[in-house]
Amino acid sequence: MKKYINYLSALATGCILLGAVTSCKDLTETNINPNGVESSSVHPNLILTTVLSNTATMDVSLGFGDMAGVMQHTQLDAWFSGHNNYDWSNQSWTGNYSVLEDIKLMEQRAEALELPFYLGLAKVMNAYHFARIADLWGDAPYLDAVSGDKGGEQYLLPAFDSQQVIYEGAINDLKEANDILAAVGTYETTPQDILFEGNVMKWRKFANSLQLRIYLRVSEKMPEFASSGIQQILSDPTNFPIITNVIDDAAISFPGASSNTSWPSNTEFDGSNGSNYRRIKMCSTLVDVLQSLNDSRISVWAEKIQVPIVIDDTLPADTDEIKDGVRYISSDVAEGRQVDTDPDYVGIPPAVSNLPSEYNLNPTPGQQSYNPHVSFVSEMYQDPSGPLLKARLMSAAEVQFILAESALTGLGASGSPQMYYEAGVRASFEAWGLSGDYTDYISGKAAFDNTLEQIITQKWIASWSASTEAWFDYRRTGFPALTAGPAAVRSALPLRFYYMQDELTINEDNATQAVSRLEVTQFSQSDENNSAWSKFWLLQGTGKPW
């Protein structure tokens, strides 16, 4: 900061010295953006679009990105170490706090202009982002965060508030938002609201459903708090509406007009000549579960393999040839190697090796990712936009599975767990355009068995492309029972993001205190406290997931 100030001072001095020869404009005038809007006069609807679009981008980047690797929905077969093996370093929360700065401005402008609709929306999104920061890192700046404009070390180097305080604050924000929006009643159609187009009721449902998510998140640590909160919402649907139907999903579509507004693996704007898409392959963990359940969602999310493999014991030794689109090999060629001969879908096992592009006898291993014997993700993920390419911030399927777990464990939902479980599965099938397949599916191998493991497993499946939530469920329940692959940097799945080195250096005292509150586990190893395998408050004392 001092260097920046001194640099501006030097420029100003230069203008004074040059005054006899030429004139210099005031620097504050020079730096005015003629196309910009002053923060003191901006309408909150303009800020709202930025908040929502940036939120959508970050959510998909995680949920379709490295979290899909952790939760074994996908694997990469090139540039894979972070995705497959959890070789993480500094995951930054800068994006979240940048959005929170915009949210704060939106709230200030809504109050100044007496626009309660935008005030309610600001509180919803404020809760969303702070809860997400707590979910990913643990303790974090909250009460004194995004207040650097106030000056003083308290705000420039804010304290890290506890995970518990952040979750409780998020709940309070969501309650206030619901009350504010209930008083608003209705609002005009708002195209800048790219989530719900100004539909107040849908925003209320989103706010209250987020409350359910957080209550469930903390239920192991604060069972009475969680149970009473869930019961309050579910006992009064008039005052606390929630998302129960797919038409109310909090989902944002991608316009697909530029690289910043397109699905991240698209091949039109990504600048990688298609390699970003080609690197993504299905993970065998998800493929095997979907196939075992005769789950048709695999046909929407994955491509069938291009060339099936057949191992024929009757063939002469060293036979390896392709006939009519099928690769025939003799048994000696397959000996000692992992070969998946499924004729339709094949996934790469999690962290299978240091060269996942070699899996299943790929004839051209390497960075090009053209393996014809492994399932790519659906070709729709090459497109910049599409009817199914959405950032799903919260869905009816997730809410129904929350209710199913709540009913099963006695947290507050009345009715049978089976009713909610089946509603969750139905909502997922409907969201992916497969409503017609639901009846046969739910009466077959997916029929309810009255276990938490089955509820969470179906919730994990339904979280496709939004697998960050599945990670949070895995941490607190241990389901689905995933194991790390042989090439992973630890023999267990990670639990959190590391605090960034910049934060540990610049805000050293506060960050060090937060690190000291983490619990070292048998998997923390050389990372010590600030490890992706150390436990924060939410997991301490729970015995979960290990």
The full DSSP string for 33-97 is: -TT---TTT--HHHHHHHHHHHHHHHHHHIIIIIHHHHTTSEEESSS-HHHHH--------HHHH
Mean pLDDT of 100-121: 97
Report yes or no on 151 lying in a domain.
no
Instruction: Convert the pLDDT of each residue in 452-509 to its tens digit.
Output: 999 999 999 999 999 999 999 999 999 999 999 999 999 999 999 999 999 999 999 9
Cβ atoms of 181 and 207 closer than 8 Å = yes
Q: Which pTM does this prediction carry?
A: 0.92
Report yes or no on 377 lying in a domain.
yes
State residue 486's pLDDT score: 96
Mean pLDDT of 376-400: 98
Instruction: Convert the pLDDT of each residue in 250-276 to its tens digit.
Output: 999 999 999 999 999 999 998 888 999
Using a pLDDT cut of 90, give the percent of the chain over it. Answer: 86
As a whole number, the mean pLDDT across the chain is 92
State residue 226's pLDDT score: 98
Final residue of a domain: which of 334, 352, 382?
382
As given in the structure block, the two tokens for residue 257 are: 């007009």
Distance, C-alpha 206 to centroid of its chain: 17
- Strands 309-311, 140-141: pairing is unpaired
Mean pLDDT of 390-401: 98
CA distances (Å), 344 to each of 306, 374, 419, in order?
9, 9, 33
Among 107-121, 365-379, 394-408, name the one with the lowest average pLDDT: 365-379
Phi, psi of 500 (to 5 degrees): -70, 150
Instruction: Convert the pLDDT of each residue in 280-299 to its tens digit.
Output: 999 999 999 999 999 999 99
Report yes or no on 316 lying in a domain.
yes
Final residue of a domain: which of 382, 412, 439?
382
Final residue of a domain: which of 324, 348, 382?
382
Report yes or no on 106 lying in a domain.
no
Cβ atoms of 524 and 534 closer than 8 Å = yes
State residue 493's pLDDT score: 98
As given in the structure block, the two tokens for residue 342 are: 């499924």
Q: Is the pLDDT of residue 227 over 80?
A: yes
Residue 334's domain comprises: 275-382
State residue 10's pLDDT score: 30
As given in the structure block, the two tokens for residue 113 are: 């202009």
Res. 326 pLDDT band, cuts 50 70 90: very high
> CA-CA distance, 484 to 492, in Å (whole number)?
5
* R_g over Cα of the chain: 26
Q: How many independent structural domains does the chain possess?
A: 2
Cβ atoms of 131 and 212 closer than 8 Å = no
Report yes or no on 29 lying in a domain.
yes
Q: Is the pLDDT of residue 18 over 90?
A: no
Q: Is the pLDDT of residue 24 over 80?
A: no
Report yes or no on 351 lying in a domain.
yes
The full DSSP string for 366-432 is: STT---TTSPBBPGGGGSS--TT-EEEEE-HHHHHHHHHHHHHHTSS--S-HHHHHHHHHHHHHHHT
Report yes or no on 368 lying in a domain.
yes
Res. 173 pLDDT band, cuts 50 70 90: very high
Report yes or no on 355 lying in a domain.
yes
